Structure 1
């Protein structure tokens, strides 16, 4: 008996349609025929399961290394196969029996049995994350079912049919199949031919014309042919090459950290029917931003577990995206559930600035922060930022020989250093500080009520997650509540920390940059500074910025910026433009979680590759990339409307501010900016 072999799926299906016309029954192999794996070695899916079980042993007070858990599982499976071989031709094992025995040996009979469903659910979830339906093959299967053919799925694997049905259902075609048959249930496999006889007898297929389709020349070709079944075998060279590439990246990553991030990104890539036409912005979100955000939130989760942090608060509008990414990726990475609570907190610099003065008044450091943006010039800008009444404070300025329009920033014309000295003396004036506290008392109380309702004071340790860059939001938030006895220890995690102004780190309030931190020399990572606005706009929540907190009889009210003015409309336009980019980020979240869980790596392992992405995309971008992902509009209420001196304007220009014609025609432009960037970083 012989079978037909094909090297392209299109050729097999074309021939299959011809043959199937005269058939009553069509059966399919499952793996590498109807479904393909992202990973080259299916046994790698077992590793995150071993890490999950190891995490459970820690909770039980008898910690096992995950490697020991995996070895136990492998040894038990081998023993089961040896026992099966004494009675059956096929040396098969059955997953529930293997896993139950392993869990009982680790946890005891009662706890091990109770844990089996949880472990099984996670293993099947990881399997599903690594499986992709072959679009053409599944479409053909549907056509056959619609034509009235009896459809079966046959698989030689240690997973029983009930588990395979979960995988097929997730793939979306279980309703087209009469039955799923696994060798794990009977120990009769396709490899020996016994499985075909079993199916023929169980489903009364004797005398019916039967076509089988698979990828193994023995199990799916020779054995069905020997049983009188027409067989078509797929030998897909393209798929084998893809797996060889994955294998190479994974093997390289064992000794060379750079390849760990490359292996991660390879496992995240869409396959088969997932390869739909997408906009270029979507691709940027999926390929560029998603790995960066994945490493960011994974690091935060690991630190929360290590430090005993009870709740994570995602701050500002960028936190909305971080929280959503966390929800889709972290369950794959930490299935044991030992994670902090999470909540999105409505905050902004503008909303918190005034509230931070309610107890401590206006500090010199916070006043200096207000004059960091080049567009801020005088006391009116300070009052705008801290939500203060200029008129009520004017008499206090007059006592110190200052006016509301006195220039207080060295970036502007008319600046006199002595005026800044008078301003600092004003900050020491108790009457001035009392008036400020009076003006912001109600917003400060409204903030406290909002935080109490969000559970901020109910935890001993909390994490505050923000985009960056100076940590201003966390600074203002902590200063607004630090006087309370129930103020928690605040662990700040910034996507990137530029530290342009020293952060007041204390035992109760710390901040660190994750992807980049100026306090840790990282030249490649520092290229994130090229396009900070890009990350803010790409991660921004689809709601207006928060202007402040209003005290009401019922408690508090959140006050948002309007969207009916030109600035608000421009921001909405920017949101619509970046919508595909954000969707790419969110679609990459679960892929990141599953891929990283399988590889067993974390941010330090991926950092060399992520730095490569940052430097290539931001320091040496193609013109098309700049055209695509450079923001169209960027709202910054902190930034005033004054124009600084030309020398400061010129010095603040960056590569991503350059015109497209200059990016296209100046071959040394990127190199000059990069050399300038190197000098600036070295001087820091």
Structure 2
């Protein structure tokens, strides 16, 4: 048998702090001051064994809250807790049938079981609930007296660590629920919804393979926040009077994840209006040497009111495509490569890429492009051209994927993080945070936040260790094929 703490060990709250639940209840019941009264009532019961019902009875007897309102607020609080629960997946998967779950909480035992089931627990366990049994030591005294030998797992250094050890019970303290440095950075910069999504994603990772787990952590903590912030800036650009657009063309392959996140953001926050967005079959090869069918394809989807979106680039191949097709849309690069000797021959062969374009970051800030491109890899080969199937239907012609089975597996795992991110973006509670806070932040705040996140990606040696040689070899072949080196 093992024992586990519940809150911030097996499950967490989307909103991080339990006090935020009370503020959410206050908002929903329309009773200003409720949150303060709720905390006051609970504080008055500290040091005693009590339940949620005791807290609400005290609100009625000592805080002047009407019985009817108290009953309603109690129901709303439980509903808010249920809506906020998320799994700490790596810990939750350690629970086995017959284990003991121990929690200091006023919430009812049967409700804890419902929270755990919603978070994904499918084990038959016992639940030991008290108001202060762990922190006060009574729980550990009682369990020690049974003679059972087990190890307890929890997040609190005192109630889950020192307290059980004082009674001869083995204990491991693992704190995962608190915001990471990156999540704290996002919160401090005002990107509240983005930080909460990144945290929920991180806590939802349960990869047993260490490499896959670390790649997923980079996806959750770095790539998703970067793409989400960039999406909000793209919305502001495309809906502004000066740069109003009607269609966004997200370049393959680098923007595969970005497009998915953008669509979820648009649905969740009702932003972007009538903006259309689609996956744009493209590459340097297709732009600069694609067939007449490719130029017809581009002419069919692009116009001066379109925005071509790309993760990184020099602008050279886009300028070449626009000139060949006779169509000049707007261009939005998350990161523009402006200073890179490796691309000098590329510029000399095809021009300087002198475009009027929008960008959030550039290589002049000391930011590279390799790590972010690796974080956005997909398991399909480079688009080299299209086939005109008639009726305005175009089918992409793709090269073979160069990834090994192991690399393809890692890419699939990272893609699953994007799947979960899309679900979280469309979660009503998190979408509300995005609408209320993040969407109102402008380009200066975005750039000041994106650059440090990008630098973290640049320093992640794991990315180049896992994919670098494959990506560098593909780039070498492409450049050679375009006559820009061997």
TM-score band, normalised by the shorter chain? 0.5 to 0.7
Show the counterpart of 2:280.
Answer: 345
Q: What does residue range 656-671 of structure 1 map to in structure 2 within 5 Å?
A: none
The 1:221–1:191 alpha-carbon spacing in structure 2 relative to 1, beyond 3 Å, is: farther
Please state how far the C-alpha of 1:476 moved relative to its aligned partner. Answer: 5.3
The 1:539–1:546 alpha-carbon spacing in structure 2 relative to 1, beyond 3 Å, is: same
Please state how far the C-alpha of 1:191 moved relative to its aligned partner. Answer: 3.0
Which among 115, 121, 125 is matched to residue 167 of structure 1? 115
Show the counterpart of 1:176.
Answer: 124
Q: Is the contact between residue 104 and residue 131 of structure 2 (CA under 8 Å) also seen in structure 1?
A: no
CA distance in 2, matches of 1:323, 1:312: 9
| TM norm structure 1 | 0.45
Which among 309, 313, 317 is matched to residue 465 of structure 1? 309
Show the counterpart of 2:362.
Answer: 517
Q: What does residue range 372-521 of structure 1 map to in structure 2 within 5 Å?
A: 385=289, 387=291, 440=292, 443-449=294-300, 451=301, 463-472=307-316, 474-475=318-319, 490-498=330-338, 501-505=352-356, 510-512=357-359, 514=360, 516-518=361-363, 521=364
Which among 309, 320, 330 is matched to residue 256 of structure 2? 320
Please state how far the C-alpha of 1:616 moved relative to its aligned partner. Answer: 3.5
Could you say what secondary structure the match of 1:236 adopts?
helix
Please state how far the C-alpha of 1:346 moved relative to its aligned partner. Answer: 1.8
Show the counterpart of 1:293.
Answer: 223
Show the counterpart of 2:395.
Answer: 558
CA distance in 1, matches of 2:186, 2:394: 53
CA distance in 1, matches of 2:449, 2:124: 41
Please state how far the C-alpha of 1:39 moved relative to its aligned partner. Answer: 9.4
Please state how far the C-alpha of 1:635 moved relative to its aligned partner. Answer: 5.3
Q: Is the contact between residue 549 and residue 558 of structure 1 (CA under 8 Å) also seen in structure 2?
A: yes
Show the counterpart of 2:208.
Answer: 276
CA distance in 2, matches of 1:586, 1:551: 30
The 1:473–1:278 alpha-carbon spacing in structure 2 relative to 1, beyond 3 Å, is: same
Q: What does residue range 215-364 of structure 1 map to in structure 2 within 5 Å?
A: 215-217=134-136, 220=139, 234=152, 235-237=159-161, 242-243=174-175, 246=178, 249=181, 253=185, 267=199, 274=206, 276-279=208-211, 282=212, 285-288=215-218, 291-307=221-237, 308=239, 312-324=248-260, 335-338=268-271, 342-353=277-288
CA distance in 1, matches of 2:139, 2:262: 42
Could you say what secondary structure the match of 1:293 adopts?
helix
Q: Is the contact between residue 40 and residue 247 of structure 1 (CA under 8 Å) also seen in structure 2?
A: no
CA distance in 1, matches of 2:307, 2:382: 22
Could you say what secondary structure the match of 2:308 adopts?
strand
Could you say what secondary structure the match of 1:276 adopts?
coil
Show the counterpart of 1:578.
Answer: 407
The 1:626–1:615 alpha-carbon spacing in structure 2 relative to 1, beyond 3 Å, is: closer
Show the counterpart of 2:7.
Answer: 31
CA distance in 2, matches of 1:478, 1:94: 70
Alignment length, in residue pairs? 410
Show the counterpart of 2:468.
Answer: 630
Range moving further from structure 2, 125-134 or 239-248: 239-248
Q: Is the contact between residue 249 and residue 307 of structure 2 (CA under 8 Å) also seen in structure 1?
A: yes
CA distance in 2, matches of 1:41, 1:556: 48
Unaligned stretches of 5+ in structure 1?
A: 1-12, 17-27, 54-67, 97-112, 145-150, 182-188, 193-213, 354-384, 388-439, 563-567, 650-684
Please state how far the C-alpha of 1:471 moved relative to its aligned partner. Answer: 2.7
- Per-residue CA deviation, residues 663-683 of structure 1 (Å, 9 max, x unaligned), is xxxxxxxxxxxxxxxxxxxxx
CA distance in 2, matches of 1:291, 1:248: 9
Which protein shows a greater Rg?
A: 1
CA distance in 1, matches of 2:176, 2:390: 66
Please state how far the C-alpha of 1:293 moved relative to its aligned partner. Answer: 2.1
Q: Is the contact between residue 92 and residue 158 of structure 1 (CA under 8 Å) also seen in structure 2?
A: yes
- Per-residue CA deviation, residues 400-443 of structure 1 (Å, 9 max, x unaligned), is xxxxxxxxxxxxxxxxxxxxxxxxxxxxxxxxxxxxxxxx4x55
The 1:608–1:122 alpha-carbon spacing in structure 2 relative to 1, beyond 3 Å, is: farther
The 1:133–1:558 alpha-carbon spacing in structure 2 relative to 1, beyond 3 Å, is: same
| TM norm structure 2 | 0.59
Q: What does residue range 46-61 of structure 1 map to in structure 2 within 5 Å?
A: none
Q: Is the contact between residue 311 and residue 342 of structure 1 (CA under 8 Å) also seen in structure 2?
A: yes
Could you say what secondary structure the match of 1:494 adopts?
strand
Provide the alpha-carbon RMSD of the alignment.
5.9
Could you say what secondary structure the match of 1:128 adopts?
strand
The 1:274–1:552 alpha-carbon spacing in structure 2 relative to 1, beyond 3 Å, is: closer
Could you say what secondary structure the match of 1:31 adopts?
coil
Please state how far the C-alpha of 1:348 moved relative to its aligned partner. Answer: 2.8
